Structure 1
Amino acid sequence: MADTETNQGKQKEAAVEDEDYMGDLSKFITTEPSQPSKPKKLAPQTLTNSSQQPSKKKPKFQTWQQQKERKQQEEDARTLENIQSAIPQSNIGFKLLKQMGYTPGKGLGKEGSMGREEPIGLEIRRSRAGIGREDPAKERVKREKYREEWKKKTEEVMLEDFGVRQKLQWKSKRVVINYHKAKAALDQLENREPVIEPEKDEDDEGGDEEEVEEIITEELKAMLGKHASLPSIFPSICGCKIVRMT
């Protein structure tokens, strides 16, 4: 019995030592957290790769369209340049026209003056619009140009109207002022005698009252005589000094 107990005690001690030994090893294991760090580094790479892949596909699609449009524009420019250039006399079609009686610089037909002198213009159409319709880009440019011209015209008309209105206001003000002056002069001529102020020497200092000159020409008198029946509604204004005689 004692042997069995001693054997069991030794086994327990060995188990405890084994547990302690494994516990000590767990302290020294530092390479394990570095292993899961590798997939962590790879994860963002996969994300970046996945994010870069669609970005690579998109510009390919866009650049393909841009390249196609650029090629079409270049082809159109070449064809238009070739059309604008004169046809050489070595051309077969030009030789046939000469054989049929065409002379360069003259119109088609027997007389040469009534026929067409220039070739029919060529219009390149890349869109699916009808024959009577223009290119959408050209139509947009025309609309914008028309709007700009319309805005300029409206601004010019508004400026002209403003100037005319300002002139009319100024003229109406002048008419009112002249009317007041004429009315005051008419009242003075009809009912009252002009006040003659005594002459003052140059050395004498002027008083507080301002000197007012009354100038009434013969034309003004004749004009005022026609309107002598006007009622005295408006008061006198500057330019004529009226003294009420009691």
Structure 2
Amino acid sequence: MSDEEEDYMSDAFLSKIQDVKPGVSMVRRVKEAIKKEAKQKEKNIQNRQKTFKEQETESREAALQTSISNQNKGFALLQKMGYKAGQGLGKEGAGRVDPIPLNIKANREGFGMEEVKKRKAEEELHHYRQKVRAKQQNEAKSVEDFRTRVRTEREERKIEADLRRSQRSCEQLDSQKGVSVPREAWYWPGVDADNEDDAAEEEEEEVTELTSFDKLQILTSYLRGIHFYCLWCGTAYNDEDDLCSNCPGDTAADHE
């Protein structure tokens, strides 16, 4: 057991309290002895030898708090030039009054390392911000590409559905007029791939394949011109004048 944790019931400790008056109770004598021991420890801590670093710090702080005396050569030279204590530097006395603050260098790094570290940190921050900005732009582009793709696919599905409706209407209207063979194989539903492939083999010239959008435009124009039928209105008009007078237009957008 260390000195700081002395056993208060040991003979060594009890021998220290033999000088207490014999009439005092044992509990009181023990308390007084403990109190005396604590005071002695506090005194030892206050009187312990200070380290070199602590002495250096105290000396520096004391020097900084002490004004420069007249014995200082630099201060004496300033006084000869007309300077007075408490006056600002410069010809007009408007310069610095307090000394330049002292900055203690606490590490072993060479001079200029702080600027190098600061510049490196700024560069890393700049690169990080660029990466974050590029990531955000890529995410935004991905979202926009996805929306465009969804919108395109939805429009394509609508065009396919409108094309099938126009083919059924064309077959029905042609049949009502006694037409047994469509003008083009794809004008009617179900009369498509085989007939077109056979016709294409007979022709030597290369034929550009029509898209669903192209077919829809051609077929709606045929229905309006031959049968006075508007796919978007769902109505077969009496004649061209009736069609032009009562139909909003020849596109789906005109009917919205």
- Class of the TM-score when normalised by the shorter of the 2 chains: 0.3 to 0.5
TM-score under structure 1 length normalisation: 0.35
TM-score under structure 2 length normalisation: 0.34
Larger Rg over CA atoms: 1
